[in-house]
């Protein structure tokens, strides 16, 4: 399928075999219409640990056991940790191996949080950031905590009537003390960090900062702005700019009046033409430019800082605290 073709593969297949053989007439083990795939004969076998219960069908796995991010020598389950139960839902084990060809079959494989095609990992006790290779943020990585990790080529979270991403425990749970973590410990941060990391990197970058600051360091992870506060900040700056423009216009009027007085000089005939020329240039270059800036400032306020503006800086759908 071409990269630019967004037609679902299922529709392309249906279109390709339309008018062709019916499901009952398909070759055996062809894989079409969810029949058994011939490639299943060359199996990829999962190395099951002794305490794991594995349910498998056509390359899809549900593994019930203890925390195990890779081989049976890894994770809290390998250390015999208590209360480290896990549920691992995996499809396409080692699918990314050998440039996407997968492992040479038959093969015995362990968990691979990087090479397996898609996974939902639920663990009672795990180091989720380390296992999924997530970079640190201003908040320390989760160590020895319950966690759910979701990884695939594309992940979608869809709520027909809304989606909420919440950090922190319930405030009205277990009495006035509030909710604890899974180990019964107090959650010290009332609002734990939510980090959106594009590109899986939080490293700072150094860039050209100008003539007087040739090397400028830009933080790789930065806080979001609150829309209404940002709007109010721009509105206050716009008000200051408007006041400066008013001062410039007032100063220009005073200067024009002064130039007119200086132009009344019967002894120096060249003063009058110079005064008229100065006033004309001041009206043309200063007054008109200042008024044009005031108009642009009004449009800026309407377009960016007003809810009816077509470039309003606040999102109408996405909110944050």
Pair 75, 149 in one domain: yes
Residues 231 and 195 in one domain: no
DSSP lists the bridge partners of residue 292 as none
Q: What is the 3-state secondary structure (H, E, C) of 49-106?
A: CCCCEEEEECCEEEEEEECCCCCCCCCCCCCCCCCCEEEEEEECCCCCHHHHCCCCCC
Task: Show which of 178, 205, 223 is a domain's final residue.
Answer: 223
pLDDT in tens, the chain (321 residues): 445 456 665 555 555 555 555 555 556 666 666 666 655 545 788 999 999 999 998 889 999 999 999 998 999 999 988 899 999 999 989 989 888 888 887 889 999 999 999 999 999 999 999 999 998 888 888 999 999 999 999 999 999 988 888 888 876 665 566 777 777 778 777 778 888 888 888 888 888 777 777 788 888 888 888 889 999 999 999 999 988 888 888 877 777 776 676 667 676 776 777 777 777 777 767 778 888 888 999 999 999 999 889 899 888 888 887
Query: Residue 256 sits in which domain range?
Result: 227-305
106 plus 179 within the same structural domain? yes
Same domain, residue pair 288 and 193: no
Any domain includes 124: yes
One domain for residues 203 and 257: no
Same domain, 233 and 219: no
- Tell me whether residue 6 is in a domain: no
Whether 250 and 275 map to the same domain: the answer is yes
Give yes or no: residues 70 and 203 share one domain: yes
Whether residue 198 sits in one domain with residue 151: yes
Give the C-alpha separation, 153 to 156, whole Å: 10
- Whether 313 maps to a domain, the answer reads no
Q: Residue 8 domain-assigned?
A: no
Please tell me whether residues 216 and 233 are part of one structural domain: no
Q: Is residue 50 part of a domain?
A: yes
Residue 121 to residue 149: CA distance in whole angstroms: 5
């Amino acid at each position: 399928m071409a990269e630019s073709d967004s037609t679902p593969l299922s529709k392309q297949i249906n279109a390709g075999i339309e008018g062709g053989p019916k499901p009952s007439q398909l070759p055996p083990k062809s894989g079409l219409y969810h029949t058994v795939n011939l490639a299943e004969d060359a199996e990829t076998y999962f190395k099951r640990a002794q305490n794991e219960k594995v349910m498998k069908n056509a390359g899809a796995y549900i593994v019930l056991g203890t925390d195990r991010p890779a081989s049976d020598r890894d994770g809290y389950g390998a250390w015999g940790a208590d209360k480290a139960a896990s549920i691992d839902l995996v499809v396409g084990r080692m699918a990314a191996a050998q440039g996407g060809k997968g492992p040479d079959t038959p093969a015995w494989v362990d968990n691979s949080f990087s090479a397996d095609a898609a996974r939902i990992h639920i663990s009672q006790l795990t180091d989720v950031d380390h296992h999924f290779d997530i970079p640190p943020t201003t908040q320390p990585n989760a160590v020895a905590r319950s966690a759910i990790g979701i990884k695939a080529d594309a992940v979608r979270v869809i709520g027909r009537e809304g989606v909420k991403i919440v950090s922190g425990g319930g405030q009205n749970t277990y009495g006035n003390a509030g909710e604890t973590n899974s180990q019964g410990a107090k959650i010290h941060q009332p609002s734990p960090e939510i980090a959106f990391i594009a590109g899986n990197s939080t490293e700072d970058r150094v860039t050209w900062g100008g003539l007087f600051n040739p090397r400028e360091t830009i933080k790789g992870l930065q806080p979001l702005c609150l829309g209404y506060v940002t709007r109010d900040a721009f509105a206050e700056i716009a008000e200051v700019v408007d006041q400066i423009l008013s001062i410039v216009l007032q100063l220009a009027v005073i200067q024009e009046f002064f130039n007119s007085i200086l132009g009344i000089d019967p002894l120096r005939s060249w003063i009058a033409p110079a005064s008229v020329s100065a006033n004309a240039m001041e009206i043309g270059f200063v007054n008109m430019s200042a008024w044009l800036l005031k108009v642009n400032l009004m449009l800026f306020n309407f377009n960016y800082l007003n809810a009816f503006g077509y470039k309003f800086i606040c999102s109408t759908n996405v909110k944050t605290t």
